[in-house]
Copies of this chain bind each other. A is one copy, B any other.
Amino acid sequence: MNETGYLRHVLACNPPVKERFVPWYVENQVVGWLRPALVEKLAHRPDVFEIDHAAICLRTDLKSFAARSEALEDVVAWLAEKDWITPPMGEPYPVTPAGREAALCVMDRSAAAYFGVRAFGQHLNGYVRKDDGIHMWLGRRARDRLIFPGCLDNMVAGGLPWGISPEENLVKECAEEAGMTPQQARRAVPVGLVSYNRIAERGYRPDVLYCYDMELSPDFEPQNTDGEVESFSLLPLEEVARLVRDTDEFKLNCNLVIMDFLLRHGYLAPEHEEYLDLATGLRRPMDAGLSVRKQYTET
């Protein structure tokens, strides 16, 4: 992997899959991917799952959203009790073959990570237009955070649980992370998404980050209220781009959000040698590199 350049971050967020994952079906649609070792454990739960060599399926007699969610809650408690997964966080996440609104049931956030379920998040680019161009607000993550302590981060970023609209959740995150009023927060403009498929300790992690832009007045200054951010700084976009391109200072997925910003605001142009690979690489389908696909052959 190159030590500088933009595309290396896309590759880091979408590593080659060097182990086998078993597709998980709900209502005949793939909603996740599990390690074989977890599938073996779930073979002890024929009341909830049907398993063959190639797939694990939620029982089709679990016919409603509620019935499926209850069965999964029971299984998750059982797995946690056996110490096979980390304890539930009490935060329901959608289990979906497609977008968030197409969820077929929910399961605990912590357990979802083992089931290779798509996770949704929201990242906000806070920026100021000055005479010398765009400047972007960045957060520096607190040193005591479990993940990427001390790394650079987007001004506002967080996970998107079930049961709250993206708009309302963003208002909440903007208050906690940057001290914004709901009125300020609602000025955020949804501008697309980035998606990628990590391999984490707990399993396959297909992530979707909804991206938002917010143009701020020069006198606005973000104030962290939840202790997750050590400090904020406002940097020229050229310097932000350099930090992405030449360093590993950012929390990994923030690099993708900023590269998407650079593409949308004309900072990166079609003349750039990585342009096409970046544009397509920032929007990976959930099963990229996993699913079996066959070339059409004449019959």
Q: Which residues of A contact B (CB under 8 A)?
A: 17-20, 98-102, 165-167, 189-193, 195, 208, 210, 263-266, 268-271, 273-277, 279-280, 282-285, 289-298
Contacts and interface: CB of A to CB of B under 8 A. Distances in A.
Stoichiometry, copies per complex: 2
B191 A275 contact: no
A190 B269 contact: yes
Contacts of A101: 271, 273
Q: Which of A266, A284, A297 has the most CB of B within 10 A?
A: A266
B265 A191 contact: yes
Given A19-B296, A210-B270, A280-B284, A265 B189 contact: yes
Given A166-B271, A285-B280, A293-B293, A298 B191 contact: no
Please give me the 9 A-B residue pairs with the lowest Cβ-Cβ distance, nearest first: A189-B266, A99-B276, A166-B270, A190-B269, A210-B270, A283-B283, A292-B295, A280-B283, A192-B263
Given A191-B265, A292-B293, 11 more contacts: A18-B296, A19-B296, A19-B298, A100-B276, A165-B271, A189-B265, A191-B264, A192-B263, A192-B279, A193-B275, A291-B295
15 contacts: A98-B277, A99-B273, A99-B274, A99-B276, A100-B270, A102-B273, A166-B269, A190-B268, A192-B263, A192-B264, A192-B279, A280-B283, A280-B284, A282-B283, A293-B293
Q: Which of A19, A99, A263, A297 has the most CB of B within 10 A?
A: A99
Contacts of A294: 292
Contacts of A102: 273
A291 B110 CA distance: 35
Contacts of A100: 270, 276
A276 B193 contact: yes
B19 A270 contact: no
A195 B276 CA distance: 9
A59 to B, nearest CB: 24
Contacts of A263: 190-192
Contacts of A17: 296
A292 B296 CA distance: 9
Nearest to A260: B192
A63 B90 CA distance: 62
A266 B296 contact: no
Q: Which of A268, A295, A297 has the most CB of B within 10 A?
A: A295
A29 to B, nearest CB: 13
